[in-house]
Chain A
Amino acid sequence: MNGDRRTARVRDVKVHVFGGIMLVEVQESGGQSGWCEVGGGRPALSRQILESVVAGAAKDSSVWDAEPLWEKVRSGIEDTGAAGLAALSALDVAMWDLRGKVAGLAVHKLLGGRSRSRVAACATIAVDSANLKGAAAEASRLRAAGYSTLRLALRPGEIPLNAAGDPAVLAVAAVRAQTGSAVEIIVNLGGAYMSTRAVEIARLLHRKFGVRYLEDPTPPEVIRDLAQVSDGSDALVCAGGPGCTRWAARELIDQGKADVIAPDLGTSGGITEAKKVAALAQSQSKPLMPRAPRGVLLQAAALQLAASVLTVGPALDRTHAENAGPYRGIPEFRDGFMLVPNAPGLGVEVDRERAG
Chain B
Amino acid sequence: MDLLALSSIPFSRRTFLAHGASAAALLPYPARGAEPSAITIREVRPWVVPGACFVQIVATNGISGWGECDADNPPIMAAFVEHSLKKHLIGQDPWDSERLWDTMFFRNHDHGPGGALANSIAGVDIALWDLKGRLLGMPVNQLLGGRFRDRIRVYGSFGVGFGKSMTPQQAAAQAQRFVRQGFTVVKLRMQIREINQNPDPDPTFAYAVAVRKAIGPDIGFFVDANNGYTAGRAIEAARRLKKEFDIILLEEPASDQSHHETAEVVRAVDTPIIAGEKEYTRWQQRELITLGNPDYLNPDTIKAGGLTEMKRIAAVAQAYGKPIICHNTRPTLGTAAALHFISSIPNCGPLMEFIDLENFAGLRRLMKNKLRFEGGFLYVPDGPGLGLDVDENAVRKAAAA
B25-33, B155-163, B179-187, B241-249 - interface stretch: B25-33
| Chain A contacts for B99, CB-based, 8 A | 112-115, 308, 310
* Contact pattern, A 241-276, Cβ under 8 Å of B = 1, otherwise 0: 000001101100010000000000000000010011
Given A110-B143, A246-B315, the answer on whether A103 and B148 have CB atoms closer than 8 Å is: no
Pairwise interchain contact B26-A250, C-beta atoms closer than 8 A: no
CB atoms of A104 and B11 under 8 A apart:
yes
28 A/B residue pairs, CB under 8 Å, sorted by A: A1-B28, A2-B28, A2-B30, A5-B9, A5-B138, A6-B138, A62-B146, A64-B143, A64-B146, A65-B146, A66-B145, A67-B146, A67-B148, A71-B148, A104-B9, A104-B10, A109-B96, A110-B143, A112-B96, A113-B95, A113-B96, A115-B98, A115-B99, A246-B318, A276-B318, A282-B312, A342-B37, A344-B12
In angstroms, how far is the closest chain B Cβ from the Cβ of A193?
28
Are A283 and B316 closer than 8 Å at their CB atoms? yes
Contacts of B100 in A (CB 8 A): 113
A276 CB to nearest chain B CB (Å)? 4
Query: Which of A111, A247, A250 is in CB contact (< 8 Å) with B98?
Result: A111
- The answer to whether A280 and B102 touch (CB under 8 A), given A5-B29, A68-B148, is no
Interface size class for chain A? 35 or more
Known A-B contacts A30-B28, A113-B93, A276-B318; A104 and B36 likewise in contact (beta carbons under 8 Å): yes
CA A64 to CA B145, docked complex, whole Å: 7
Interchain CB contact under 8 A, B318 and A109: no
Question: Residue B18 at the A interface, CB < 8 A?
Answer: yes
Is the C-beta of B388 less than 8 angstroms from some C-beta in chain A? no
A69 to B148, CA, bound (A): 9
A105 located at the interface, meaning its Cβ lies under 8 Å from any Cβ of chain B in the complex: yes
A343 contacts partner chain B, Cβ-Cβ < 8 Å: yes
Q: Hey, which chain A residues are within 8 Å of B312, CB to CB?
A: 279, 282-283
Pick from B210-218, B223-231, B267-275, B280-288 the stretch touching chain A: B280-288
Bound Cα distance A344, B345 (Å): 25
Q: How far is the CA of A299 from the CA of B308 in the complex (A)?
A: 25
Cα distance, A254 to B291, chains bound together (Å) = 13
The answer to whether B286 touches A249 (Cβ under 8 A) is: no
Report the bound CA distance from A111 to B312 in whole Å: 12
Q: Is the CB of A115 within 8 A of B102?
A: yes
A1-30 toward B: CB 8 Å interface, digit per residue (1/0)? Answer: 111111010000000000000000000011
A342 to B10, CA, bound (A): 14
Q: Are B147 and A342 in contact (CB under 8 A)?
A: no
Q: A250-B319, A276-B315 are in contact. Are A114 and B145 (CB under 8 A)?
A: no
Q: Are A279 and B148 in contact (CB under 8 A)?
A: no
Q: What residue of chain A has the Cβ atom nearest to residue B318's Cβ?
A: A246
Is B14 in the interface zone, CB < 8 Å from A? yes
Q: Which of B147, B290, B308, B313 contacts A65 (CB 8 A)?
A: B147
Inter-subunit contact A3/B98 (CB<8 Å): no
- Give 20 new A-B contacts, CB below 8 A, not counting A8-B28, A105-B10, A114-B96: A4-B137, A5-B28, A64-B142, A64-B143, A104-B9, A104-B12, A109-B96, A110-B143, A112-B97, A112-B99, A113-B93, A113-B98, A115-B99, A246-B318, A250-B320, A276-B318, A279-B282, A283-B285, A283-B286, A344-B12
In the complex, chain A residues whose CB is within 8 Å of the CB of B96: 109, 112-114
Check B319–A249 contact: CB distance below 8 A: yes
How close is B360's CB to chain A, nearest CB, in angstroms? Answer: 30
The answer to whether B28 touches A3 (Cβ under 8 A) is yes
In the bound complex, CA of A246 to CA of B319 (Å): 5
Q: Which residues of B contact A67 (CB under 8 A)?
A: 145-146, 148, 344-346
The reply to whether B15 and A343 contact each other, CB–CB distance below 8 Å, is: yes
Task: Compute how far the CA of A6 lies from the CA of B138 in the bound complex, rounded to whole angstroms.
Answer: 6
Q: Give the CA-CA distance A29 to B29 in the complex, in Å.
A: 11
A32 CB-CB contact with B under 8 Å: yes
Choice from A3, A246, A349 contacting B18 with Cβ under 8 Å: A349
Collect the chain B residues with CB atoms within 8 Å of residue A105's CB: 10, 12, 36, 95
Q: Which residues of A contact B285 (CB under 8 A)?
A: 283
- A284 and B102 in contact (CB under 8 A), knowing A64-B146, A104-B11, A247-B319? no
How far does the alpha carbon of A4 sit from the alpha carbon of B18 in the complex, in Å? Answer: 22
Counting CB contacts under 8 A, is B327 at the interface?
no
- What bracket does the count of chain B residues touching chain A fall in? 35 or more
Q: A180 within 8 Å of B by Cβ?
A: no
Tell whether, in the assembled complex, residue B28 and residue A343 are in contact, meaning their CB atoms are under 8 Å apart. Answer: no
Assembly CA distance A246 to B282 (angstroms) = 14
With most chain A CB atoms within 10 A of its CB, the pick from B98, B283, B312 is B98
- Taking the complex as formed, is A102 at the interface, i.e. its CB lies under 8 A from any CB of chain B? yes
B97 and A113 form a contact (CB under 8 A):
yes
Which one of A115, A250, A342 contacts B14 once the chains associate, using CB atoms below 8 Å? A342
Question: In the assembled complex, which residues on chain A have CB atoms less than 8 Å from the CB atom of B95?
Answer: 105, 109-110, 113
Q: 1/0 per residue B255-298: CB within 8 Å of A?
A: 00000000000000000000000000011011000100000000
A31 located at the interface, meaning its Cβ lies under 8 Å from any Cβ of chain B in the complex: yes
A109 touches B36 (CB 8 A): yes
* Minimal beta-carbon separation of A222 from chain B (angstroms): 21
> Which among A62, A104, A308 is the interface contact of B15 at CB below 8 angstroms?
A104
Given A105-B95, A113-B95, A113-B99, A71 and B143 contact (CB-CB distance below 8 Å): no
Contact indicator A276/B319 (Cβ below 8 Å): yes
Q: Nearest CB to that of A272 among chain B residues?
A: B145
Q: Is the CB of B315 within 8 A of A279?
A: yes
Does any Cβ of A come within 8 Å of B311's Cβ? yes
CB-CB under 8 A from A283, the residues of chain B are 282-283, 285-286, 312, 316
Could you tell me the distance in whole angstroms from the C-beta of B62 to the nearest C-beta in chain A? Answer: 19
Contacts A30-B29, A283-B282 hold; do A69 and B315 have CB atoms under 8 A apart? no
Asked whether A71 lies within 8 Å of B28 as measured between CB atoms, the reply is no
B67 at the interface (CB under 8 A from A): no
What B residues does A101 contact at CB under 8 A? 15
Q: How far is the CA of A112 from the CA of B307 in the complex (A)?
A: 11
In the complex, what's the smallest C-beta–C-beta distance from B304 to chain A, in angstroms?
A: 13
Chain B residues with Cβ under 8 A from A280's Cβ?
315-316, 319
Q: For B26, give its contact among A4, A5, A31, A344 (CB under 8 Å).
A: A31
Are B145 and A112 in contact (CB-based, < 8 A)?
no
Residue of A nearest to B28 (CB): A30
B74 interfacial contact with A, CB 8 Å: no
1/0 per position for B84-109, CB-CB distance to A under 8 A?
00000000010111111110000000
Q: State in angstroms the CA–CA spacing of A309 and B318 once bound together.
A: 19
